[in-house]
Structure 1
Amino acid sequence: MSLNPPTTHREFSGLPGAIGITLGLPTLITFFALITNQTYSIQGINLDINAVLNQLPNSTEGWIALCFDKQCWLAYLAWFGILVALDFILPGTAAQGVELRDGSKLNYKINGPAVSSVFVAVLLARAWQVKGYFLPELQFVYDHQLELTLVTTIFSMLLAVFVYVCSFIPLTKPNGKGTHERILSVNGNTRNPIYDWFIGRELNPRIGTWDIKLFCELRPGMLLWLLINLSCVHQQYHQLGKVTDSLILVNLLQAFYIFDGVLNENGLLTMIDVTTDGFGFMLSFGDLAWVPWAYSLQSRYLSCPGNEIELGWTNLSLIVLVKVVGFYIFRSANKQKSDFRSGKLDHLKSIQTKTGSKLLIDGWWGLSQHINYFGDWLIGWSWCLPTGFQTPLTYFYVIYFGTLLLHRQIRDETKCRGKYGKDWEKYEKLVPYKIIPYIY
Structure 2
Amino acid sequence: MERPGFIETPGRRVTRSSAVASETNTDDTSDSAVDMVRGSKSVTRRRTSGKTKTEDILEEEAKTVATNGHTISTEKKPRIVDGWEEGKDPKVDYSGHFEFGGSWGVLSMMIGFPMLMYYMWIGAVYYDGKFPRASEGQSTLAFIAHLANLVYVGAFPSIKAWTIYWVFFLFEGACYLLLPGITVMGRPLPHLGGKQLPYYCSAVWSFYTSILLALTLHFTGIFKLYTIIDEFGSLMSVAIISGFLVSFVAYFSALARGAQHRMTGYPIYDFFMGAELNPRMFGILDFKMFFEVRLPWYILLFVTMGAAARQYEVYGYVSGEVGFLLMAHFLYANACSKGEECIVSTWDMYYEKWGFMLIFWNLAGVPLSYCHCTIYLANHDPATYHWNRYFLTFLYIAYLFVYWVWDTTNSQKNRYRQQERGTMVFRNTFPQLPWQTLENPKTITAEDGSKILVDGWYGKARKIHYTCDLFFALNWGLITGFKSPFPWFYPVFFACMISHRALRDIQRCRNKYGEAWLEYERRVPYLFIPVSIYVFHPTIPGYPKARFPGVVVFSEIYQVTGPVSRFARQIAGQGYICAAPSTYHEFTGPEPLEYNAEDTDKGNKWKVSKKLAAYDEDASLCVDYLLSLPTCTGRVGATGMCLGGHLAYRCALDSRVKAAVCYFATDIHSKTLAAGKNDDSLARAEDIKGELIMIFGKNDNHVPPEGRDLIRKTLQDKGVLFSFYEVAWAQHAFIRDELSKGRYDPAITKVCFEMLLELFGRTLKLDLGEHDGRELEIEDVC
Superposed pair shares fold, TM > 0.5 = yes
The 5 A counterparts of 1:277-288 are 277-288=352-363
Write the deviation string for residues 151-204 of structure 1: whole angstroms up to 9, x where unpaired.
10110111010010111233xxxxxxxxxx5362x4xx0122221111111111
Residue from 309, 315, 329 that aligns with 2:391 = 315
Larger strand proportion, structure 1 or 2? Answer: 2
Residue from 266, 279, 299 that aligns with 1:224 = 299
Instruction: Measure, in 2, the Cα distance between the counterparts of 1:386 and 1:415.
Output: 36
Larger helix proportion, structure 1 or 2? Answer: 1
Q: Does 1:432 align with 2:525?
A: yes
On the 8 A contact 2:259/2:275 being kept in 1, the answer is no
Q: Does 1:198 align with 2:272?
A: yes
Q: Which moved more, 1:316-325 or 1:157-166?
A: 316-325
On the 8 A contact 2:442/2:454 being kept in 1, the answer is yes
Instruction: Measure, in 1, the Cα distance between the counterparts of 2:396 and 2:386.
Output: 15
Unaligned runs of 5+ in 1: 171-180
Residue from 160, 166, 175 that aligns with 1:77 = 166
Q: Following TM superposition, by how much is the alpha carbon of 1:403 offset from its aligned partner in structure 2, in angstroms?
A: 1.7
Whichever residue aligns with residue 4 of structure 1, its letter is: K
Instruction: Measure, in 2, the Cα distance between the counterparts of 1:89 and 1:347.
Output: 37
Instruction: Measure, in 2, the Cα distance between the counterparts of 1:288 and 1:41.
Output: 26
Whichever residue aligns with residue 359 of structure 2, its letter is: S
On the 8 A contact 2:154/2:233 being kept in 1, the answer is no
On the 8 A contact 1:326/1:374 being kept in 2, the answer is no
Write the deviation string for residues 256-315 of structure 1: whole angstroms up to 9, x where unpaired.
111221222111101111110001111111101011111211111011135642224312
Instruction: Measure, in 2, the Cα distance between the counterparts of 1:395 and 1:64.
Output: 26
SS at match of 2:527: coil
Whichever residue aligns with residue 501 of structure 2, its letter is: R
* 2:235 alignment counterpart: 148
Whichever residue aligns with residue 83 of structure 1, its letter is: E
* 1:246 alignment counterpart: 321
SS at match of 2:452: strand
Q: Following TM superposition, by how much is the alpha carbon of 1:392 offset from its aligned partner in structure 2, in angstroms?
A: 3.7
Instruction: Measure, in 1, the Cα distance between the counterparts of 2:232 and 2:376.
Output: 13
Instruction: Measure, in 2, the Cα distance between the counterparts of 1:249 and 1:194.
Output: 41
Instruction: Measure, in 2, the Cα distance between the counterparts of 1:67 and 1:11.
Output: 33
Instruction: Measure, in 1, the Cα distance between the counterparts of 2:168 and 2:443.
Output: 47
Q: 1:358 to 1:137 in 2, by over 3 A?
A: same
Q: 1:53 to 1:247 in 2, by over 3 A?
A: farther
SS at match of 2:196: coil
Residue from 343, 353, 361 that aligns with 2:446 = 353
Instruction: Measure, in 2, the Cα distance between the counterparts of 1:63 and 1:358.
Output: 54
Residue from 86, 105, 121 that aligns with 2:196 = 105
SS at match of 1:387: coil
Q: Does 1:327 align with 2:417?
A: no
* 2:514 alignment counterpart: 421
* 2:474 alignment counterpart: 381
Residue from 267, 271, 274 that aligns with 2:346 = 271
Q: 1:24 to 1:430 in 2, by over 3 A?
A: same
Q: 1:36 to 1:10 in 2, by over 3 A?
A: same
Whichever residue aligns with residue 166 of structure 2, its letter is: L
Instruction: Measure, in 1, the Cα distance between the counterparts of 2:493 and 2:340.
Output: 24
On the 8 A contact 1:97/1:108 being kept in 2, the answer is yes
Q: 1:151 to 1:331 in 2, by over 3 A?
A: same
* 1:173 alignment counterpart: none
Q: 1:146 to 1:364 in 2, by over 3 A?
A: same
Write the deviation string for residues 371-427 of structure 1: whole angstroms up to 9, x where unpaired.
221122222223222112333432222222222221121111111111222333333
* 1:393 alignment counterpart: 486
Q: 1:58 to 1:311 in 2, by over 3 A?
A: closer
On the 8 A contact 2:371/2:487 being kept in 1, the answer is no
On the 8 A contact 2:155/2:235 being kept in 1, the answer is no
Q: 1:127 to 1:193 in 2, by over 3 A?
A: same
Instruction: Measure, in 2, the Cα distance between the counterparts of 1:410 and 1:263.
Output: 29
SS at match of 1:267: helix
SS at match of 2:184: strand
Q: Does 1:18 align with 2:106?
A: yes
Q: Which moved more, 1:210-219 or 1:361-370?
A: 361-370
Q: Following TM superposition, by how much is the alpha carbon of 1:244 offset from its aligned partner in structure 2, in angstroms?
A: 1.8
* 1:166 alignment counterpart: 253
SS at match of 2:169: helix
Write the deviation string for residues 100-129 of structure 1: whole angstroms up to 9, x where unpaired.
221332222211122122212212322442
SS at match of 2:121: helix
Normalising by structure 2, we get a TM-score of 0.50
Instruction: Measure, in 1, the Cα distance between the counterparts of 2:414 and 2:296.
Output: 27
SS at match of 1:36: helix
Whichever residue aligns with residue 347 of structure 2, its letter is: I
Whichever residue aligns with residue 328 of structure 1, its letter is: W
Q: Which entry has the higher C-alpha Rg, 1 or 2? A: 2
Q: Following TM superposition, by how much is the alpha carbon of 1:238 offset from its aligned partner in structure 2, in angstroms?
A: 2.8
Q: 1:92 to 1:332 in 2, by over 3 A?
A: closer
Whichever residue aligns with residue 6 of structure 1, its letter is: D
Q: 1:349 to 1:114 in 2, by over 3 A?
A: closer
On the 8 A contact 2:250/2:355 being kept in 1, the answer is yes
SS at match of 2:129: coil
Unaligned runs of 5+ in 2: 1-86, 421-436, 532-620, 625-782
- State percent identity of aligned pairs: 27
* 2:128 alignment counterpart: 41
Q: 1:385 to 1:305 in 2, by over 3 A?
A: closer
Whichever residue aligns with residue 232 of structure 2, its letter is: Q
* 2:63 alignment counterpart: none
Q: Does 1:337 align with 2:413?
A: yes
Whichever residue aligns with residue 378 of structure 2, its letter is: S
Q: Which moved more, 1:407-416 or 1:84-93?
A: 84-93
Q: 1:191 to 1:299 in 2, by over 3 A?
A: same
Instruction: Measure, in 2, the Cα distance between the counterparts of 1:64 and 1:3.
Output: 48
Instruction: Measure, in 1, the Cα distance between the counterparts of 2:456 and 2:175.
Output: 41
* 1:182 alignment counterpart: 259
Q: 1:114 to 1:346 in 2, by over 3 A?
A: closer
Residue from 364, 374, 380 that aligns with 1:299 = 374
SS at match of 2:127: coil
Q: Does 1:364 align with 2:457?
A: yes
* 2:212 alignment counterpart: 121
Whichever residue aligns with residue 257 of structure 1, its letter is: Y
Q: 1:352 to 1:115 in 2, by over 3 A?
A: closer
SS at match of 2:256: coil
Q: Following TM superposition, by how much is the alpha carbon of 1:340 offset from its aligned partner in structure 2, in angstroms?
A: 4.8
Q: Following TM superposition, by how much is the alpha carbon of 1:88 offset from its aligned partner in structure 2, in angstroms?
A: 2.3
Q: Which moved more, 1:347-356 or 1:411-420?
A: 347-356
Give RMSD over aligned pairs: 2.7
Residue from 500, 510, 515 that aligns with 1:407 = 500
* 2:717 alignment counterpart: none
Instruction: Measure, in 1, the Cα distance between the counterparts of 2:171 and 2:214.
Output: 14
Number of residue pairs aligned between Structure 1 and Structure 2: 418
Q: Which moved more, 1:399-408 or 1:430-439?
A: 430-439
Instruction: Measure, in 2, the Cα distance between the counterparts of 1:391 and 1:94.
Output: 45
Q: Which moved more, 1:362-371 or 1:200-209?
A: 362-371
On the 8 A contact 1:325/1:375 being kept in 2, the answer is no
